[in-house]
Amino acid sequence: MSEPKQAKLEGHSSISQHDKAVLNRLFNPNLPYGDLVDEDAAELGETADAEETEAHKHAKAIEIHGVTAAESGDIQAALDLFNEAISVAPDWASAYNNRAQALRLKGDVHGANEDLDKAIELSAGHGRAACQAHTQRGIIRRLEGDDEHALEDFKIAAKLGNEFAKHQVMLMNPYAALCNQMLAEVMHKIQRGEM
Model confidence pLDDT, tens digit, residues 26-54: 444 444 444 444 433 333 344 333 578 89
Q: Residues with Cβ < 8 Å from 53, sequence gap 6 or more?
A: 89
Q: Residues with Cβ < 8 Å from 41, sequence gap 6 or more?
A: 48, 128
Q: Residue 1 falls within a domain, yes or no?
A: no
pLDDT of residue 80: 96
Residue type (1 letter), 126: H
Q: Residue 5 falls within a domain, yes or no?
A: no
Q: How big is the CA angle at 25 (ends 23 and 27), to the nearest 5 degrees?
A: 65
Q: Residue 28 falls within a domain, yes or no?
A: yes
Gap between the Cα atoms of 33 and 114, Å rounded: 26
Q: Residue 138 falls within a domain, yes or no?
A: yes
Gap between the Cα atoms of 135 and 131, Å rounded: 6
Q: Residue 155 falls within a domain, yes or no?
A: yes
Q: Which residue has the higher pLDDT, 6 or 60?
A: 60
Q: Which residue has the higher pLDDT, 185 or 25?
A: 185
Query: Residue 93: how many CB atoms within 10 A of its CB?
Result: 28
Domain count, the chain: 1
On average, the pLDDT of the chain sits at 78
pLDDT tens profile 84-99: 999 999 999 999 999 9
Domain region containing 56:
17-191
CATH code where residue 126 lies: 1.25.40.10
Nearest to 45 by CA among 60, 26, 27, 31: 60
> Is the model's pLDDT at 180 over the cut of 90?
no
Q: Which residue has the higher pLDDT, 44 or 157?
A: 157
Gap between the Cα atoms of 115 and 93, Å rounded: 9
pLDDT of residue 23: 53
Q: Which residue has the higher pLDDT, 51 or 19?
A: 51
Gap between the Cα atoms of 69 and 2, Å rounded: 13
pTM of the model: 0.65
Gap between the Cα atoms of 74 and 138, Å rounded: 25
Q: Residue 119 falls within a domain, yes or no?
A: yes
Query: Residue 182: how many CB atoms within 10 A of its CB?
Result: 10
DSSP string, 64-83: HHHHHHHHTT-HHHHHHHHH
Residue 30 backbone phi and psi in degrees, to 5: -90, 0
Gap between the Cα atoms of 171 and 162, Å rounded: 14
Q: Residue 101 falls within a domain, yes or no?
A: yes
pLDDT of residue 49: 39
pLDDT tens profile 119-136: 999 999 899 999 999 999
Q: Residue 2 falls within a domain, yes or no?
A: no
